Amino acid sequence: AQRVTQPEKLLSVFKGAPVELKCNYSYSGSPELFWYVQYSRQRLQLLLRHISRESIKGFTADLNKGETSFHLKKPFAQEEDSAMYYCALRGGTSYGKLTFGQGTILTVHP
Amino acid sequence: DTGVSQDPRHKITKRGQNVTFRCDPISEHNRLYWYRQTLGQGPEFLTYFQNEAQLEKSRLLSDRFSAERPKGSFSTLEIQRTEQGDSAMYLCASSWGDRPYEQYFGPGTRLTVT
């Protein structure tokens, strides 16, 4: 079975502060991990995936297989980062299925 | 608009009625997915099509649920004999053949069963 856990439903920071959204997963094989984001009144969209090792909108995420974590980080939060963030996992045996966490609402205060 | 579209956006129905939702994916995408999202939860996978073939179904998809993608383009999701527990947001997504993880989501259909 595969599972994604985001322990924080809500996270509030001030503009310019560092932010870390936590994600832990459970999967017996080698998963692919992703972060999806949903801004207010917009659709769910892909933010980044662990394989690409890119920085998107200043966000990075490192897959830690030892701790089975894939935390999303940004050194200096901006107000426009306020959104719902979902961590998602794709298992090797399923070509299409994504398993999502419960989501974390990030609010960045001015 | 070249994004994923879903119709209707909202549906209120009485328990026991049947409902059908439609999803139109991005035209060049050959993969199509249905998810269900309840309040406070992330999307939960229901089923997945590659072209017209339904390749994977979740155990969440009971006998009352059926999905089709007859010509490999739009898809329909039907729920028969709706129950109050079916109340949720139903999301459709589509993707390119070689980038299944990059799923483009529609706005969703919110179902309320009274």
| Portion of chain B with pLDDT greater than 70, in percent | 99
Q: Are strands B104-105 and B88-95 parallel, antiparallel or unpaired?
A: antiparallel
Choice between A92 and A76, residue whose per-residue pLDDT is larger? A76
In the predicted structure, residue B65 carries a pLDDT above the cut 90: yes
Model pLDDT for residues B66-84, shown as the tens digit of each residue: 999 998 899 999 999 999 9
Mean pLDDT lowest among A81-90, A99-108, B91-100: B91-100
- Out of B3, B55, B91, the one facing A96 most closely (by C-beta) is B55
Tokens 């990030």 sit at which residue?
A106
Amino acid B96: pLDDT: 85
Give yes or no for A21 touching B (CB within 8 A).
Answer: no
Give yes or no for B34 touching A (CB within 8 A).
Answer: no
| Portion of chain B with pLDDT greater than 90, in percent | 78
Are the C-beta atoms of residues B75 and B23 closer than 8 Å to each other? yes
Amino acid A83: pLDDT: 97
User: Do B101 and A44 lie within an 8 Å CB cutoff?
Assistant: no
DSSP secondary structure, B60-105, as one string: TS-TTEEEE-TTSS-EEEEESS--GGG-EEEEEEEE-TT-TTSPEE
Amino acid A23: pLDDT: 97
User: In angstroms, rounded to a whole number, what is the distance separating the alpha carbons of residues B101 and A92?
Assistant: 12
| Of B19, B105, B109, residue with least CA distance to B65 | B19
In the predicted structure, residue B1 carries a pLDDT above the cut 90: no
In the predicted structure, residue A70 carries a pLDDT above the cut 90: yes
Amino acid A93: pLDDT: 67
| Residue B96 CA: distances (Å) to CA of B53, B100, B102 | 15, 6, 8
User: Do A97 and B50 lie within an 8 Å CB cutoff?
Assistant: no
In the predicted structure, residue A73 carries a pLDDT above the cut 90: yes
In the predicted structure, residue B10 carries a pLDDT above the cut 90: yes
pLDDT interval class at A94 (50, 70, 90): low
User: In angstroms, rounded to a whole number, what is the distance separating the alpha carbons of residues A65 and A59?
Assistant: 19
Query: How does the average pLDDT of chain B come out, rounded?
Result: 93
Mutate to test the interface with A, among B2, B35, B101 (most CBs of A within 10 A): B101
Model pLDDT for residues B45-63, shown as the tens digit of each residue: 999 999 999 998 888 788 9
